[in-house]
Amino acid sequence: MSKLIPPHGGKGLTCCLLEGDELAAEKKKAEGLKKISVSPREKGDTIMMGIGGFSPLTGFMTKADWKNVCDNFQLADGTFWPIPVTLSASKEDADGINEGDEIALYDPENDEILATMKVTEKYEMTEADKKYECEKIYKGEGTPTAEEFWKIAGEDHPGVQMVMEQKEFNLAGPLKVLSEGEYPTEFAGIYMRPEESRKIFEEKGWSEIAALQLRNPMHRSHEYLCKIAVEVCDGVYIHSLVGNLKPGDIPADVRVKCIDSLVKNYFVEPNVVQGGYPLDMRYAGPREGLLHATFRQNYGCSRMIIGRDHAGVGDFYGMFEAQTIFDQIPASDDPGKMLLCKPLKIDWTFYCYKCDGMASLRTCPHDKEDRVLLSGTMLRKLLSEGGELPDHFGRDEVVAILREYYEGLAERVEIKMHTAATGDDE
């Protein structure tokens, strides 16, 4: 019997990805169906439902699910879920679709049909509905009022922009997933299905695994977080996003090289597993921290490392709001419907010259001037501008990989600094 945490939702891994003869037959049928183009975010969500990463979801959400997730962190049946997973369609497309119809979900970037879906519901998403979702999901302590939020969110929050750019209708219904896109080939050896990571953990005899979410290059703070997790758990799962990011972020293949270098040179390798997953960042801060824990439970992780400004962007969220939100989610009498993956809450970490090592606000008594404040945003800004990094900011092997990447860029995106990256609110 497995010692691992069970998948979320109490139904095991709910995988919608077809194989063999069933896949061949569905692909043939899909060619004759009405095609709906999916956004990169919807593509990632589709694949995650295909491989069981979004268990217990097996399709895009109904209006009732969407509303209850926004309001109560739960699907309509009471199962915990923190962020809407929806499929949008234009009015023109939606007018030609009736409930009960089957449609094909088309990835225009790869010219590929990703999935088929039986439409069980079609509902309008007005401008007011989209704004409602944005305020419920993306508004944090950094912008406490709706007026403050909307003053900057429309231009500066990529997650809000994604929602507001969605089309006029949402379509709900169960999926039959036909492809994992480019991920199995482009990220061979890194991209994993939940069943694969679970198998690795079981072969190692692990039961307590902490997941590290990674979208930035791995600097000394990330390394320290992982080593704390290794001390208190059986192992750590460095789980990188290999989907789309915002302009200026480091691409996945470069981040993977950085992780490989760190694991090889600075970790006891058997205590670390590296993997990748196919989602886009939503930059939803606290709510996204909950989503990260939810699907990491499906990958077999019992703890989710939550540090400073987890999944944040700009100054929209409080520094540790992604930690405190775990204490605010609703309970359930049914353990299968609850979030079982718990946060591993770690304070702001940095290198301290006087401590002569990595430390945190909980362990270091010294002043800000004695500390090298580490941030992925600051790392990207300094490297993109050809600046020198402070001593102890990153490992030499990682910095060399990143400098090579930036030197090869034809165009560079301006990296905006914010409070969480500078330590000005400490």
Active site residues: 215-216
Tokens 């709510």 -> residue: 287
The strand pair at 349-352 and 357-360 is best described as antiparallel
Return the H-helix or E-strand segment holding 66. Answer: helix 63-72
Q: What are the residues facing 276 on neighbouring strands?
A: 191, 240
Would you call 286 helix, strand, or coil by DSSP? helix
The strand pair at 87-89 and 235-241 is best described as unpaired
Contact 250, 260 (CB under 8 A): no
Distance of CA 256 to the CA centre of its chain: 16
Contact 380, 250 (CB under 8 A): yes
Residue 26: Cβ within 10 Å count: 17
Radius of gyration of the chain from Cα atoms? 21
Q: What are the residues facing 210 on neighbouring strands?
A: 236, 303
Omega prior to 56 cis, within 30 of 0? yes
Q: What is the largest CA-CA distance in the chain?
A: 68
